[in-house]
């Protein structure tokens, strides 16, 4: 009889079985994880032009052109994006058109580039480059029912040039350059017979010219010119077939200009006679051959043109409103829409131009008041079932959102203001109260068991496609990431974003949904008046300790105008509700915003606002704040970079304010130092400093031979890069011998240059990031014809004596000695350069709670993706043949290029179109950082630079762990019983 296996062998076999099951677990965690830790949102921006294409069959769509340089096709039923193209900012889109019902035409770069796109799928059909005399306001006109050619010609005017281009293949049929000096074509019109093209132009500010051209050859048939003594401002609209309405140079009168044969006659009408309470600027718009709208910031007047005899006001809308372009309904009839505000509603009115006294549609629509006023309206018609005409309108709101109104309702809306984010901050969610659970709870035991059985099948790779989809739906439903309370790992937060429209919106990091939004009254622009600008958003109050029960708040800083000398505005908002707690218009400008590390007793952060007169203003204004600030004022220093003047200056503060006597919260500044760069050889292109909230875990770095290097961790360290003047242009526009980049490390307290390095043959653009004691910057090497990334690390040599262990034991070290920037620092610098494959749009560095986790560079590439590059690849101590000690330290052997690992792309397969910024937010869990990327699109994810070494992942199967423990316990019991029986059998022998 064979002896039974030994107990240890059985335990080993059981352990191998468990290990094999866990290996299967690690290879099956990807397919059902999609969308659990990241999200991606697509936007288009503020619409400035729209063209409908609503054929009887097929998909009804609208093609739009936006201020973010995006052309896109939207589904009229849902607002979803069919396709879109984000064009580079260096090629600004000017005009949009539709030809032959299947080509989308775009004119860009001041009338120099004409493109045709396929309407169904957005593929580019052709591109034509055009010559122009000067960059000017270009015009695009698609000819209709053209008898002179086999297809519709596209007329393009730019400067004093007119081109006729085939809409099928982009071939230029004819071109014409006018000989009149300083001529700029303002309008292109088509004769009713379609064989003559009218071109109206303005030479200088006083001469008006009208040309009659042959639509077939471009030959000039007639040339009429007239000079106006008072001058014209350049804005003209067509009043009738032979009457133009123009605005004079003083913008106070309208000129009614009539062309009769070879003669020109005109009459002048004062605008004040038409609109009594006119204030600010206004706009003119032609609705038909004799109807013109005059729009101000608060009203719209409909005017009837009586030849050159004058204008008559037919109707006036006194509420803030917007009017659409006229829409042809029949050969003789046109319709237009007016959308005006009535309290908490908007009113949608459609009229025929032939009879303004009657209305086709008058509907009231409820709308969110946080969207502001209506700015643009695009009207479209459709045929109802009873063969009558129905109307819908695409409405652009003040906050850049887009709405479709039809039959008295908002069919769909898009928050496209999120395509123009200017700044981001974060806010913690409230603490979950005891006894209150906002998580979803399974309804019964059967559902609970069913869910866990599905998850177990997915873990063991036994689930089919439908079950995998069900598993993902269950996880999204039961996930705690969407709760409105903070979690112990710090993954759930609020992203508080400020948009270019002056709107503050909060996004939940769980799924990117908008929690609340607020259009700030202080940053709302009148339609034709001043243009306030939103600058920055900061955390204002972060409650801790005694004020824990108060809600956190954020501070929004802006200007009342676009100029740097315009007065500033403050707005303080509750982070949880969006309620505006306080708003103030400052009596000084906002030149620079300096967040301080100080807080008052209510946990409100202190800020210094530097105005254009170099005076510093302290906020918030309270006695407690002033006492705290005065106690630390002698230790406060700051600097300013003036790129235009090519100078950097350092300042300290003094108690009195020269301009505001008696204002205890105003302080004058004292210039301590300045660095003036020679403008003929260097121009400042970028300056960077450390993140004020960055946490550094250790000030020492242990190298392979057990030596210690001390980091130079001054918060006053500033990185500045300059380029030679010729190297500031596009890549390749200068010879390598004429280009150079100089990198500086400067102490902001004394102005001392700690390090300076020159890169000959280097050209911009330059992007940089400064963290701890190192800086990484990116540029183009003209000699190698490749991009490069350089790293500089700076170390403090004054602490070299601390390496003696006996001195540390006896306390004879200088680790606790005060550090002063006025003492000349003993620093050692190490640097290295590497080739890099990609062009760069933005750079950031990962931030974690304690600074223990390894750093990664977050690089926004030219492909609008984010690459996470380990900082170890940018170690200046890398060598071709590292020693054994350096290998043990983790130094990577030197290569000339930095590796691009496809798995290192944080955005995976997504593109963040027109990427502008990357923000890294520490979580409470040290291993994890939250990454938010914004441009026209938004993308959010969680990143673990050193893997999740301090926690189990969210996908860890607790059910499988319980099964494993149960199997091990059963194996132990069976093995023990077997062993007891064996021992008993041995004793009976």
Residue pLDDT, tens place only, 853-895: 999 999 999 999 999 999 999 999 998 888 888 888 888 899 9
Q: Are 892 and 875 in contact (CB under 8 A)?
A: yes
pLDDT at 27: 31
Peptide bond into 620 cis (omega under 30): yes
Q: Which residue has the tokens 């395509």?
A: 419
Report the distance separating Cα 7 and Cα 629, nearest Å.
73
Average pLDDT, whole number, for the chain?
Answer: 83
Tell me which of 648 and 240 has the higher pLDDT: 648
Q: Is the pLDDT of residue 29 over 50?
A: no
**What Å distances lie between residue 646 and 641, 720, 726, 745, 772, CA to CA?**
8, 11, 15, 16, 27
The secondary structure of residue 825, as a DSSP letter, is P
Q: How confident is the model at residue 547 (pLDDT cuts 50, 70, 90)?
A: low
Q: Is the pLDDT of residue 28 over 50?
A: no
Q: Is the pLDDT of residue 3 over 50?
A: no
Say if residue 467 is exposed, middle or buried (CB neighbours under 10 Å; 0-12, 13-18, 19+): middle
pLDDT at 207: 83
Beta-bridge partner residues of 214: 196
Q: In 600-748, which residue ranges form alpha helices assigned H by DSSP?
A: 623-632
What six digits make up the tokens of 156?
A: 């393009």
Query: Which of 423, 419, 335, 420 minimizes the C-alpha distance to 380?
Result: 335
pLDDT at 21: 40
Q: What is the mean pLDDT of residues 449-468?
A: 73
pLDDT at 17: 44
pLDDT at 464: 77
**What Å distances lie between residue 787 and 741, 777, 783, 836, CA to CA?**
13, 11, 10, 5
pLDDT at 7: 46
pLDDT more than 70, % of the chain: 86
Return the top range by mean pLDDT from 157-161, 665-669, 912-916. Answer: 912-916
217-225 — which CB contacts under 8 Å span 24+ positions?
A: 217/174, 218/162, 218/164, 218/173, 218/174, 218/175, 218/176, 220/176, 221/196, 222/262, 224/259, 224/262, 224/264, 225/180
Provide CB contacts within 8 A for 84, sequence distance 6+: 42, 44, 70, 71, 72, 73, 122, 913
Q: Is the pLDDT of residue 16 over 50?
A: no
What six digits make up the tokens of 930?
A: 């939250």
By three-state DSSP, how is residue 130 classified? coil
Tell me which of 452 and 499 has the higher pLDDT: 499
Q: What is the mean pLDDT of residues 46-68?
A: 85
pLDDT at 918: 96
Report the distance separating Cα 931 and Cα 943, nearest Å.
7
Q: How confident is the model at residue 41 (pLDDT cuts 50, 70, 90)?
A: very high
HEC secondary structure over 760-785: ECEEEEEEEEEECCEEEEEEEECCCC
- pTM for the whole structure: 0.86
Beta-bridge partner residues of 413: 403
* 153-157, 188-192, 772-776, 809-813: the lowest-pLDDT one: 809-813
Q: Is the pLDDT of residue 115 over 70?
A: yes
Q: Is the pLDDT of residue 788 over 60?
A: yes
* 437-446, 631-640, 758-767, 973-982: the lowest-pLDDT one: 437-446
* 539-548, 713-722, 813-822: the lowest-pLDDT one: 813-822
Q: Are 429 and 930 in contact (CB under 8 A)?
A: no
Q: What is the DSSP string of 843-881?
A: EEE---SSS-SPPEEEEEETTS-EEEEEGGGG-TT--SS
pLDDT at 58: 59
Report the distance separating Cα 504 and Cα 537, nearest Å.
9
Number of neighbours of residue 234 by Cβ within 10 angstroms: 13
Q: How confident is the model at residue 26 (pLDDT cuts 50, 70, 90)?
A: very low
Beta-bridge partner residues of 64: 50, 72
Q: Is the pLDDT of residue 527 over 80?
A: no
Query: Which of 195, 265, 257 minimizes the C-alpha distance to 232?
Result: 257
Q: What is the mean pLDDT of residues 173-187?
A: 85
* 477-491, 796-810, 932-946, 972-986: the lowest-pLDDT one: 796-810
Query: Which of 869, 871, 859, 846 minimizes the C-alpha distance to 943?
Result: 846
Number of neighbours of residue 630 by Cβ within 10 angstroms: 14
Tell me which of 319 and 794 has the higher pLDDT: 794
Report the distance separating Cα 320 and Cα 526, nearest Å.
10
pLDDT at 160: 84
With vertex at residue 131, the alpha carbon angle to CA 125 and CA 135, rounded to the nearest 5 degrees, is: 105
Report the distance separating Cα 978 and Cα 980, nearest Å.
5
Q: Are 258 and 264 in contact (CB under 8 A)?
A: yes
pLDDT at 11: 44
Report the distance separating Cα 608 and Cα 666, nearest Å.
9
pLDDT at 710: 86
Report the distance separating Cα 287 and Cα 352, nearest Å.
10
Query: Which of 972, 951, 962 minimizes the C-alpha distance to 21?
Result: 962
pLDDT more than 90, % of the chain: 38
pLDDT at 201: 84
By three-state DSSP, how is residue 477 classified? helix
Beta-bridge partner residues of 285: 293
Q: Is the pLDDT of residue 401 over 90?
A: yes
């Amino acid at each position: 009889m064979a002896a039974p296996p030994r107990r240890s062998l059985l335990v080993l076999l059981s352990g191998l079985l468990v290990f094999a099951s866990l290996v299967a677990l690690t290879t099956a965690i990807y397919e059902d994880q999609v969308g659990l830790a990241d999200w991606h949102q697509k936007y288009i921006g503020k619409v400035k032009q729209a063209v409908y294409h609503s054929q009887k069959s097929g998909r009804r769509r609208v093609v739009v052109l936006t201020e973010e340089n995006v052309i896109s096709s939207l589904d009229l039923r849902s607002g979803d994006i069919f396709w879109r193209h984000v064009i580079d900012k260096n090629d600004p889109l000017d005009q949009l058109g539709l030809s032959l019902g299947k080509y989308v035409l775009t004119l860009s770069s001041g009338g120099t580039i004409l493109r045709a796109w396929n309407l169904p799928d957005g593929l580019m059909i052709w591109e034509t480059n055009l010559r122009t005399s000067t960059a000017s306001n270009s015009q695009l006109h698609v000819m209709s029912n053209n008898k002179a050619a086999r297809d519709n010609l596209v007329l393009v005017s730019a400067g004093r040039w007119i081109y006729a281009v085939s809409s099928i293949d982009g071939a230029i049929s004819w071109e014409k350059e006018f000989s009149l000096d300083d001529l700029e074509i303002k309008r292109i019109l088509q004769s009713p017979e379609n064989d003559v093209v009218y071109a109206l132009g303005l030479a200088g500010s006083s001469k008006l010219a009208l040309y009659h051209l042959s639509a077939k050859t471009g030959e000039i048939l007639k040339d009429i010119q007239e000079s106006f003594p008072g001058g014209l401002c350049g804005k003209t609209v067509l009043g009738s077939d032979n009457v133009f309405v123009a605005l004079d140079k003083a913008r106070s009168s309208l000129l009614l200009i009539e062309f009769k044969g070879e003669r020109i006659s005109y009459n002048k009408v004062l605008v004040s006679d038409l609109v009594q309470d006119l204030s600010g600027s206004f706009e003119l718009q032609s609705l038909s051959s004799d109807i013109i709208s005059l729009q101000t910031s608060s009203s719209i007047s409909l005017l009837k043109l009586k030849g050159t005899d004058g204008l008559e006001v037919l109707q006036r809308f006194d509420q803030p409103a917007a009017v659409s372009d006229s829409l042809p309904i029949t050969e003789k009839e046109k319709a237009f829409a007016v959308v005006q505000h009535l309290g908490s509603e908007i009113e949608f009115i459609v009229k025929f131009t032939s009879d303004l006294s009657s209305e086709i549609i008058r509907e009231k629509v409820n709308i969110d008041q946080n969207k502001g006023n209506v700015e643009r309206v695009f009207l479209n018609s459709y045929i109802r079932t009873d063969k009558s005409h129905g109307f819908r309108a695409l409405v652009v709101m003040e906050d850049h959102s887009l709405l479709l109104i039809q039959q008295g309702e908002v069919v769909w809306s898009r928050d496209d203001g999120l395509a123009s984010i200017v700044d981001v901050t974060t806010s913690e969610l409230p603490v979950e109260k005891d006894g209150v659970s906002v998580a979803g709870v399974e309804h019964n035991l059967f559902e609970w068991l069913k869910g866990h059985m599905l998850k177990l099948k997915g873990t063991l790779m036994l689930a089919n496609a439908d079950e995998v989809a069900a598993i993902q739906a269950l996880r999204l439903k039961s996930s705690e990431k969407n709760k409105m309370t903070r979690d112990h790992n710090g993954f759930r937060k609020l992203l508080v974003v400020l948009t270019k429209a002056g709107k503050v919106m909060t996004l939940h990091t769980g799924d990117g949904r908008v929690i609340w939004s607020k259009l700030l009254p202080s940053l709302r622009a009148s339609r034709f008046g001043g243009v306030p600008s939103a600058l920055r958003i900061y955390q204002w109050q972060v409650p801790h300790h005694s004020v824990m029960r108060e809600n956190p708040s954020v501070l929004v800083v802006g200007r009342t105008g676009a100029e740097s000398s315009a007065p500033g505005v403050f707005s303080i908002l509750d982070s949880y509700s969006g309620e505006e707690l306080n708003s103030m218009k400052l009596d000084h400008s906002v030149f620079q915003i300096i967040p301080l590390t100080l807080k008052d007793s209510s946990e409100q952060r202190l800020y210094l606002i530097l105005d254009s007169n170099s005076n510093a203003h302290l906020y918030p204004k309270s006695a407690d704040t002033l006492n705290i600030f005065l106690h630390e004022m002698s230790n406060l220093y700051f600097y300013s970079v003036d790129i235009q003047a090519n100078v950097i200056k350092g300042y300290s503060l003094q108690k009195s304010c020269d301009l505001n006597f008696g204002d205890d919260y105003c302080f004058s500044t004292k210039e301590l130092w300045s660095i003036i760069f020679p403008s003929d050889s260097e121009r400042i292109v970028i300056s960077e400093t450390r993140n004020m909230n960055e946490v550094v875990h250790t000030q020492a770095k242990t190298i392979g031979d057990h030596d210690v290097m001390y980091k130079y961790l001054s918060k006053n360290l500033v990185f500045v890069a300059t380029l030679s003047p010729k190297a500031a242009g596009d890549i390749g526009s200068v010879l390598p011998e004429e280009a150079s980049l100089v990198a500086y490390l400067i102490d902001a307290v004394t102005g001392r240059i700690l390090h300076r390095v020159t890169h000959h043959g280097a050209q911009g653009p330059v992007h940089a990031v400064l963290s701890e004691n190192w800086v990484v910057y990116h540029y183009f090497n003209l000699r190698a014809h490749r991009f490069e990334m350089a790293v500089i690390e700076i170390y403090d040599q004054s602490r070299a004596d601390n390496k003696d262990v006996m001195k540390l034991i006896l306390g004879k070290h200088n680790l606790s000695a005060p550090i002063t920037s006025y003492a000349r620092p003993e620093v050692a610098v190490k640097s290295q350069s590497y080739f890099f494959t990609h062009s760069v749009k933005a750079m950031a560095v990962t931030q974690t709670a304690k600074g223990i986790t390894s750093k990664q560079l977050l690089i926004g590439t030219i492909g609008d993706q984010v690459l996470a590059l380990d900082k170890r690849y940018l170690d200046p101590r890398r060598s071709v043949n590292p020693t054994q000690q350096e290998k043990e330290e983790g130094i990577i052997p030197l290569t000339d290029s930095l590796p691009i690992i496809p798995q290192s792309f944080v955005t995976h397969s997504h593109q963040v179109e027109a990427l502008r910024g990357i923000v890294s937010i520490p979580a409470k869990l040290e291993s994890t950082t939250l990454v938010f990327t914004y441009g026209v699109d938004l993308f959010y994810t969680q990143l673990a630079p050193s893997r999740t070494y301090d926690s189990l992942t969210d996908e860890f199967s607790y059910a499988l762990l319980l099964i494993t423990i149960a199997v091990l316990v059963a194996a132990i019991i069976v093995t023990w019983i077997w062993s007891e029986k064996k021992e008993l059998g041995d004793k009976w022998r």
